Structure 1
Amino acid sequence: MNPGGLAASAAINLGLAVVVLSLFSVLKRQPYNSPVYLAKCMSTGESMPGGWCRSSSTRCAVPSFAWIPAAFRLSEEEVIRMCGLDALVVLRLFKFGMKFFSVCSLVGLLILVPVNYASQESSDKARISHSLDSFSISKVERGSNWLWVHFSCLCIISFYVTYLLHKEYKEILEKRIQHLDLNRKRPDQLTVLVRGIPLCMEHREHGCYVDHFFSKHYNSTYHAYQIVHNRTNIEQLTNLANSIEQKIKRLRNKIERQRSSVFASAKTESIEKNEAKLKDIHRKIRGLQCGNMLRQKDLPVAFVTFKSRVGATLAAEAQQHENPLLLTTEHASEPKDVLWHNLDIPYQRLVIHRIGVFVAAFLLTVFFTIPVTAVQGIIQFEKIKQWFPPARAVQLIPGLNSILTGYLPSAILNGFIYLIPYAMLGMASLEGMVSKSKKEMKACSMVFYFLVGNVFFLSVLSGSLLNQIGESFAHPKEIPSRLASAVSAQSDFFITYILTDGMSGFSFEVLQFGFLTWNFLKGHLFSGESVQEPYLYGFPYYRVIPIVSLAILIGMVYAVIAPLLLPFLVVYFLLGYAVFLNQMQDVYEISYDTCGQYWPYIHHYIFVAVVLMQITMIGLFGLKSKPAASFATIPLLAFNIFFNEYCKKRFLPSFYHRPIQNAKVNDDLDEQEGTDKDWCEQAVTAYRPPWMFAVTSAEESCSSTEPLLVC
């Protein structure tokens, strides 16, 4: 890619960012856009922000970027209070990028860039460069002692990232323990999910076995159980009842707006028919909720509640049965985090589901090689013109060649990448995860490794293949050196990728263009709708974390090779932090809180990035005829691996296990306050499936039914 292409990409992305962010700041203050930009505030009933305009004024039409610096003034305690610890973990990922790449940028711009330029061969200096390779390691002479400067910078970067990772892991673990203590009244701290429950031989019921087993083996701490039942029929009726209730509500709103007696009479008749139908459905639901029906539909799954957190922790982390596939236990997720439909899947069949998901992900990975290779073909447009002369017609339009090779490839690639997280989330849904959080964590890993393989490795390999296909066959002895320079040759492309993903991608993220367009069309095509429903969705951890982690990986690999990439990454993380903090506050619902369990995944992704950086430098030093530097890098790699193993022993267990020490302290606090029995009863009720609560019709109401029958 020539400098013109890079300049075109930078100009387009910067221009788009300014326009889109200005448009967002104006549109957010318009009351009719509240369902898009203030969805979270509307759903929770919070007061609208001070910048929200209740009437038309010139101030509402003036763009403002005040929300960006305001994001950096918000304390971490306020973030946890408003959005939870998982949200803070995502923001700490952006802060990690800011800290790391700020230092790397200083090292790169002040040391590596001058060294790279000064240590070129004299013949290279005399030629006019058509790329930014003059400032990368690819132009350093083979065997040059200047390569020891690169090795020194690699050491600085490696030790600094180790320091940051240890600091972040330690601080987030401390916040996790504090967060668990502050939320000690959450029902999941007293509840255990039990799967693979055998049948009671006497009564032929799963519930009886659960009650007998835990009464016998945990007699001092066991409290109650909530058996899970097959939900198919009752859930269908419940969904049908909800849709009819919404229809009745809409009809009543129309009657209030239109005073015509003929219209009102017709709508009233329709309401009466729907109310009669709703009453009949409610009667069927109550029939399915009775004990006799539930006995026939119980599943080998139950939520078991304990009187103390110590009892729940011991039960969740011990093997209960001599057969490890029976009576498997784990800490229950929050009630709102549970995926009830996946509890129907037998525990023994989960392996089959995982194999199916792996095959589907592999096929998607193979399919994605087509657009990535096509993107690299556009970048290597100069070679394409040699092979296909009619393509030279593009040069007849001034500036089109720069746009075609600079902006278009990264825009196309980001467009395809945007779809990948949703595809992977759908696959993860088929794996049988019992909670949304576990499903999204699984999707995080699937998306990350997909992006590393397809976006990073395939971009480098396909780009180098197209670039070297002719000359490599003519000079086979030069293949190793050409492959060594291929990584640095792709730095221009990754600069445009970071610009597009950061400047344009984050800008369109905050604009919410899809929902904004639909809200506009809905307001004009269905103007009769008086009540605006917010477009509220859960925060997409599975999309944000892997894509940002990929940016960190790209930055680390190119930190020593092509340091001109690093300042763009600083801007990337600064803008990303402000955008996603705004989205957490006003747009996305934080539908669950795992108390920071996303951080071990993030730590692992960064560890992979460091390993790739060091392995790349080992090979590059060797191909630059500096074997001593290659051998000297191996201890750095070994140190990084040992550090990761240390973190697995020191920090990781506390993210998946709950310390008995803290559980006992919280139990003692409840006992002192006299609230221990109250929380047990609330925990039992909290894990009642949504379709098992009492239903009411317009003319009658019924008390809640108790689906649990203990023998």
Structure 2
Amino acid sequence: MLHQIMFGKQVINYFFRNLWRWNNILESLSTHEYLPCLFLLHRLWVHFSCLCLISFYGLYLLYKTSHLLNILFAIPLHFSHCKMQPFYLQEYNEILAKRTQQLQNIRHQPAQFTVLVREIPLCSEHKTSGCSVDHFFSKHYPYAYHSYQMLYDATDLEQLLELPVAFVTFKSRWGAALAAQSQQHPHPLLWITEMAPEPRDVLWKNLATSYRYLPLQNLLVFIAASLLTIFFAIPVTAVQGIAKFEKLRKWFPPAMALQLIPGLRSVVTGYLPSAVLKGFIYIVPFAMLGMAKLAGCVSGSKQEIKCCSMVFYFLVGNVFFLSLLSGSLLDEIGESFSNPKNFPSHLASAVSAQADFFMTYILTDGLSGFSLEVLQPGLLIWDFIKSHTYSRGKEKVPYLYSMPYFRVIPFVSLSILIGTVYAVVAPLLLPFLIGYFFFGYAVYVNQVYTLNFVLSNENVAQDFFYSIIVVNAYY
């Protein structure tokens, strides 16, 4: 907080000492770029007041969290001399009841006590991996080790092939966590341990893949994602060309007919680029998920997390930076290479010039995206086709699952990035962003409650994963 206040003070002093520089800069800017800078110059204290408010609120949350932790690990007898003894005891009892309920739920989750071990060497005496696992963990974890289960390749039932992979169970969660987070052997590619996923979440085919090939698979996935990001620049550049009516009229002369119909030009250059871009981007998460399946993840949740990070970097590279570069900066790209010192100023002018596009993008995503999320037309059509073709006569699922993690969170993170960048440059974008988050909270909080009801007896890990991530992201 002190650093923020001192930084704000230095910025204000700098602005007042160099006011004549700002006057020269403002005179050289257009009307669209002038207003945000003027707003920043005369209302700078509002922004730093908001930063101070956010900082104080964060400190309050930290204090509240530490207070709850102190009560959580305290003993009720410690409050015997406290005047507010009933209040503390009531709060302590509530937290104790929640912890007891959580521990009871964990008792039915053996994955909390199990470690996945890969690249197990053969035993020198019996030439089997199972004997090596038992000797190793009995020696290094004599009090925590409980049992083990080797994995077999059941492609040929007559000749089961033992894989160098095993699930090792411990007597306590502490022992399992210690074994999963420790390096078991000086050789980094032997005795590789990690916490075991839930049985429903395990990707059994990927466990048969040798750990030595995973870096090569990750490299191939990275190259494929990079190529998709590069080639996706073609539709993004075309969309930005539509947003510029002067360029559109130059490239496509029949576009001059748009001026004859009142309001059609603003619709084509304003709403159409964002709608087309959303249509192209909608297929990207599923393409990234297909690539993430080649990375050899041991669980479906890790596979979705990897896909989520790939989609986010794709959106940052294409939707954000490429939208800036393909706009006003593309015309001056040669000058930027000849004069690299002018590149930051060109990039700053490009950011302010694309404010209207990102404002329309967030508005389009908020109205069309959330309405489609509520209606779920794609899932309805797919369920109708499936129920009338190959799934005819089978038991029907009474619910439609939606909201995959890799399709929701990257777009929310991109909106946060856009709002952070344009909070000062284009303050009018903030109301649209706030409305976007309110719409998202209203839509996804109901889906989270539905998933909590539906998945309570089917997939506890997915239920907890979605509810924690999505609700916190939108709240």
* Whole-Å separation in 2 of the counterparts to 1:335 and 1:343: 13
1:461 aligns with 2:325: yes
- 1:555 maps onto 2:422 in alignment: no
Per-residue CA distance 1:47-81 (angstroms, 9 max, x = gap): xxxxxxxxxxxxxxxxxxxxxxxxxxxxxxxxxxx
Which residue number in structure 2 is paired with residue 211 of structure 1? 134
Task: Give matches, 1:100-249, under 5 Å.
Answer: 135-137=35-37, 140=38, 147-149=40-42, 151-159=44-52, 181=103, 183-185=105-107, 186-233=109-156
**1:306 is aligned to 2:170:** yes
Aligned-pair CA distance for 1:479: 8.2
The aligned residue for residue 564 of structure 1 is 428
Match of 2:405 among 541, 551, 556: 541
Matched with 1:268 is none
Matches within 5 A, 1:294-693: 294=160, 297-386=161-250, 388-465=252-329, 483-520=347-384, 529=393, 531-534=395-398, 536-537=400-401, 539-586=403-450, 591=459, 593=461
CA contact (8 A) 1:559 1:565 kept: yes
SS in 2 for 1:300: strand
Amino acid at match of 2:127: R
Does structure 1 conserve the Cα–Cα contact (< 8 Å) formed by 2:26 and 2:34? no
1:216 CA drift (Å): 2.2
Are 2:329 and 2:346, in contact at CA under 8 Å, matched by a contact in 1? Answer: no
For structure 2, which runs of at least 5 residues remain unmatched after alignment?
1-22, 73-97
Distance 2:369 2:299 in 1: 29
Match of 2:6 in 1: none
Cα deviation 1:610-669 (Å, max 9, x = unaligned): xxxxxxxxxxxxxxxxxxxxxxxxxxxxxxxxxxxxxxxxxxxxxxxxxxxxxxxxxxxx
1:258-293 per-position Cα deviation (integer Å, ceiling 9, x unaligned): xxxxxxxxxxxxxxxxxxxxxxxxxxxxxx3xxx74
Shift of 1:123: 8.9
The 1:524–1:348 alpha-carbon spacing in structure 2 relative to 1, beyond 3 Å, is closer
Shift of 1:449: 1.3
Q: Deviations over 1:275-324 (max 9, x none)?
A: xxxxxxxxxxxxx3xxx743xx1111100001222222222222222322
- Specify the code of the residue in structure 2 equivalent to 1:506: F
Letter of the aligned partner of 1:361 in structure 2?
A
- Greater CA deviation, 148-157 or 484-493? 148-157
Name the counterpart of 1:692: none
**Deviations along 1:102-131, whole A, 9 cap, x unmatched?**
xxxxxxxxxxxxxxxxx9999999x9x7xx
Q: Is the 8 A contact 1:198 1:300 kept in 2?
A: yes
Name the aligned partner's letter for residue 593 of structure 1. Answer: A
Instruction: Measure, in 1, the Cα distance between the counterparts of 2:465 and 2:188.
Output: 25
RMSD: 4.1
Cα distance in 1 between the residues matched to 2:405 and 2:60 = 22
Contact kept, 8 Å, 2:242 with 2:269, in 1: the verdict is yes
Larger Rg: 1
Task: Give the percent of matched residue pairs that are identical in Structure 1 and Structure 2.
Answer: 56
Change (3 A) 1:487 1:203: same
Aligned with 2:151: secondary structure?
Answer: strand
Q: Deviations along 1:523-543, whole A, 9 cap, x unmatched?
A: 778997485334654741111
Question: What letter matches 2:106 in structure 1?
Answer: R
Cα distance, 1:402 vs structure 2:
1.6
Identify if the C-alpha distance between structure 1 residues 300 and 180 changes in structure 2 by more than 3 Å, giving closer, same or farther: farther
- Label 1:197 to 1:524 Cα distance change in 2 as closer, same or farther (>3 A): closer
Aligned-residue offset at 1:440: 1.3
Instruction: State the one-letter code of the partner of 1:312.
Output: A
Correspondences of 1:43-82 after superposition (within 5 Å): none
SS of the residue corresponding to residue 410 of structure 1 reads helix
> Could you say if the C-alpha distance between residues 481 and 166 of structure 1 is closer, same or farther in structure 2, counting changes exceeding 3 Å?
same
Q: Rate the CA distance shift 1:428–1:600 in 2: closer, same or farther, 3 A.
A: farther
Instruction: Name the residue aligned to 1:42.
Output: none
Contact 1:380 1:467 in 2 (8 A): no
In 2, Cα distance between the equivalents of 1:167 and 1:339? 42
Contact 1:188 1:334 in 2 (8 A): yes
Task: Give the C-alpha shift of residue 375 in structure 1.
Answer: 0.9
What whole-Å deviation, never above 9, does each CA across 1:432-471 have from its counterpart, x for those lacking one? Answer: 1111111111112111111111111111111123576899
What is the identity, as a one-letter code, of the residue corresponding to 2:244? Q
Shift of 1:331: 1.4
Q: Are the counterparts in 2 of residues 383 and 467 from structure 1 also a CA contact under 8 Å? A: no
Change (3 A) 1:408 1:478: same
Structure 1 residue 394: deviation in Å? 2.3
Counterpart for residue 92 of structure 2: none
Structure 2 distance, partners of 1:443, 1:497, is 23
Cα distance change of structure 1 residues 538 and 304 upon mapping to structure 2, 3 Å threshold: farther
- In structure 1, the residue corresponding to 2:423 is in which secondary structure? coil
- Partners in 1 of 2:44 and 2:234 — Cα distance? 37
Deviation at 1:188, TM superposition (A): 1.7
- 1:225 aligns to what SS in structure 2? strand
SS in 2 for 1:299: strand
Deviation at 1:157, TM superposition (A): 4.8
TM-score w.r.t. the length of structure 2 is: 0.75
Distance (whole Å) between structure 2 residues aligned to residue 436 and residue 530 of structure 1: 26
Change (3 A) 1:464 1:516: same
Shift of 1:579: 1.1
Deviation at 1:182, TM superposition (A): 5.7
Q: State the match for 2:8 in structure 1.
A: none
| TM-score, scaled relative to structure 1 | 0.52
Distance 1:303 1:188 in 2: 10
Distance 1:329 1:366, change over 3 A: same
In 2: Cα distance, 1:452 partner to 1:361 partner: 13
CA contact (8 A) 1:199 1:209 kept: yes
SS in 1 for 2:461: coil
Q: Measure the CA separation in 2 of the matches of 1:202 and 1:479.
A: 67
Question: Match for 2:260: what amino acid?
Answer: L
Distance 2:463 2:60 in 1: 18
* Counterpart amino acid of residue 375 in structure 2: L
Per-residue deviation at 1:576?
0.6
- Provide the secondary structure at the position in 2 that maps to 1:558: helix
1:437, 1:592 within 8 Å by CA — same for their partners in 2?
no
What one-letter code is carried by the residue in structure 1 that aligns with 2:48?
C
Cα distance 1:519–1:339, how it changes in 2: closer, same or farther (>3 A)?
closer
Gaps of 5+ in 1: 1-118, 141-145, 234-287, 607-711
Matches within 5 A, 1:10-49: none
CA distance in 1, matches of 2:146, 2:336: 73
